[in-house]
Structure formats: C-alpha cells, structure tokens
A and B are shown apart, each in its own frame.
Chain A
Amino acid sequence: MTKSIYDQLNASGTVAKCRFVENFSGNTLDTDRWGTQTSTGGTYTMKNEVDGGFEIATGTANNHAASIGFAPTSTSGNPYNTPRQYSHTGSVIIFVQKWTSHVGSTSASTSGLHAERRGDNAGANGCAAMASLWNNNFLLRTCDGSQNQSNTDTTMTKDNVLHSYKIELTSSYAGESIDGALQLSHTTNLPEAKMSPVFGLQNHSNQGASSFILNYVEAYNT
C-alpha cells in the first residue's frame, strides 16, 4: 500500500482539488484556521468528554447567535466567509454533529457551506443542514444569490445523538445523507457563488441556550 495520502485520494495522473479536514481535538480551536462570532453569551469550548469534540453555544436570549467559519473573528453579523474555496456546482461537506441543548431552543442553525458566516442559515449563497423549533425533523436549506431560500425536510426526527451528515452540491441539486442514508435531493434556490464551511446557531428564548458539538468536518471539491 502506498504511503502517500495524495495517491490514496486521487487517481493517477489527476491534480488534487481543494480539501479541508478538521478533527476538533486539542487544547483549543485553531483560530488561525477558524474565525468565531464574538456575540453576547456565545461560547466555544473543547469538551472534556470522550468523543466530546468542540461545542458551539449561544447565549440564552432570543436571537443570540454563535458561529464559526473562515471569516475573521468579529462581532459584526454575517461577514463574508472568506476565503471561499468551495464550489457551488461541485463540492461535498461531511461533518459529525450532536445537539447538546434542547433542540426546541433553536430558531435556526447553519451546518454546511455558506458564503457568509452566520448562525441563522439565511442570506445569499448557502447550502447547509439545519435544526429549528419550527420543524420536527432535521432539514436542509439552500440560499441563492438573491437571498431567496427554501428547505426540504429529512425523514429523521431531531434528537441529541451523534450523526454523520454528508451534503453534496452539484450544478443541479443538493443532496443530504445522514448516517449513510440518502435523505433528500433539493433542487431550488441553489447557491450561485463560492462558499466555505460554516457552523452556527441562532437561539430562541423559550428553552435556554442552543448548542451542538462537532467532532469532524471535511470539505472538498469534486
């Protein structure tokens, strides 16, 4: 077997495209790689638990938000999530996530690719998984370049269990799988510009703070 990771991931004679891998293990989040939203009550913590990964939590008030992405650390809302190196017509993002708060406390969340770093999964040019108190199941939301958005529900009821999520973007659809099972194929309001990874949430005040953990993220162009 070849020692080379390059040779394991790429067919002979091909040139590798962009890829990002984060295992969320270590002393603290690598803030050279990630920027955080320094919002009221927002916290970002490596968990002292087996498979605890990294937790993102909001404050407890309505619309308190927290998020990480490639945009510089800032308090301002919804900055461009630069550098945006992932294609709106051919990319994949895989992540392992578990909700650690009551999922009824969350207005919206963003777990996937987006041109802006934001927890509410709105704005322009995004494709991200989501949980919301307004939906019984996990869902996928896409946002086009004109800030029009649409959702498709998965068949999985929201829970507090670790799941593996995979979102694949092509020029004609966005597909989402959970734990290896294809859940949906969404074809409207697809993103129209480059994006990068974003994970965040926006709180609702009726059940305390909102939070989830991540212990793996991988993104690549196809």
Chain B
Amino acid sequence: MNEQHYVEWFSGKTLTADLYNQNFSGGTSGMEDEIDGGFFLQKNAQANGGSALSFNAWIRPFSKTGSAIHMVMKGSQTSNCQLDAGLSDTKGSQTNCMLFYHDNSVESGYYSLTTAGNASITHTATTKAIDTIWHHHFLEQKSASAEYSIEDTLEATRTANLSQADMMLHIESYKPGTAVFKYNIRFLEIYNT
C-alpha cells in the first residue's frame, strides 16, 4: 500500500501557489536565478519579520509515529540567523514538531534536532557546526524516537518530548531584530513510513 507522499523540486517560473501556505511578513521569497539555486526565503530588515512555507492550518497528513522528510537546504550566514525546518502540527507553531535548527544561538551554533510533544521545544545538538553549504537533511519520526541525519550520517537521536500530533510541512526563517538573512531549498520530500 502506498502511503501519503509529497515531492517538490523547487524549479520553474514560480512556486505553484495552490500547494502552499506562504507567509512572508517582513520577508521575501522566490525562485533563485542561479544554477542549482532552488527557492529562497529571505528575512528582511523589518524587526520580527521572516519567511515561512507550510501547508494550510490543519492539513496534517504525516504521522506522529511513522513519517520522514528530506530537505536539501543551505543558509546564507552563520550569525544572526535562524531556520527551523521539518514537520509540525500547526502553521507557525512548535507545540508538536520534529525540526532541525540552523541558529547560531541554539546549541552553541551546531545543527540540532528539535522536538516537542505538547510542550516547549527541546534540542539535541549534532557534532556539525552550522555552515553555508548545501546539505541533505533527513528527519525520521518513529514511534519511540526521532532521528536526524546529514548526508546519510546519523547525527542526533531524541527519545523524549516527541510529537503527540500528526504533522505537516514547517519551514520558518525568523528572528527578532533587524538581521537580514536568507535560506534556500531545492528539494523536499515527505512521506509516511
């Protein structure tokens, strides 16, 4: 039986608008005019601004006990930046989630696996410092754990504070203050396992 499966290559004139809920208050987005550039989400100088890409508020087809997400992404800088990307239960919420963080102020600036199960988020750091290189990020939600791999090397596992709700796409680039930064994504795949 084929379970729910979602694939996006982020190439074309623009993003197919009907597929996404986009929120770019204080941010901009678009297809990058560069070889292998994909789609960019930029936070502009507006305080508390950002860019977010999700499905709609309650479109949550991915299982809290068996789902996986692949993302090929990069950040523009390693200071004054924040990205959280993966799966969550509600647009803009991290009450129930499985994410990776690219944030110089989280876990001493290391890529981290972040989860929440009807509670505040908790992080587990990888051994890889955040950088500005394209990476293949893979997150898998299992029944009793969440795992985070970069380039197919397992970097972090969490067994506590796991999502208690089914989830959907969650990509958010946000930070208080006026810092300007950008994230690019050129591949996304989500499926139930």
Contacts and interface: CB of A to CB of B under 8 A. Distances in A.
Interface of A: 3-6, 10, 12-21, 30-35, 69-72, 82-87, 194, 219, 221
B17 A32 contact: yes
Contacts of A69: 13
Q: How large is the interface on B (under 10, 10 to 19, 20 to 34, 35 or more residues)?
A: 35 or more
Interface of B: 3, 5, 7, 9-18, 30-38, 68, 70, 72, 134-136, 151-153, 186-187, 189, 191, 193
15 contacts: A3-B5, A5-B7, A15-B72, A18-B11, A18-B37, A18-B38, A30-B12, A31-B13, A33-B16, A35-B13, A70-B31, A83-B33, A85-B32, A85-B35, A85-B36
Contact of B193 (A3, A14, A19): A3
B111 to A, nearest CB: 14
A70 B30 CA distance: 13
Given A83-B33, A87-B35, A6 B136 contact: yes
Contacts of A20: 9, 11-12
Given A6-B189, A32-B14, A83-B34, 5 more contacts: A18-B11, A31-B13, A69-B13, A86-B35, A219-B11
Contact of A85 (B5, B15, B38): B38
Contact of A70 (B3, B13, B152, B186): B13
Given A3-B5, A5-B189, A85-B37, A13 B151 contact: yes
Contact of A4 (B15, B16, B36, B68): B68
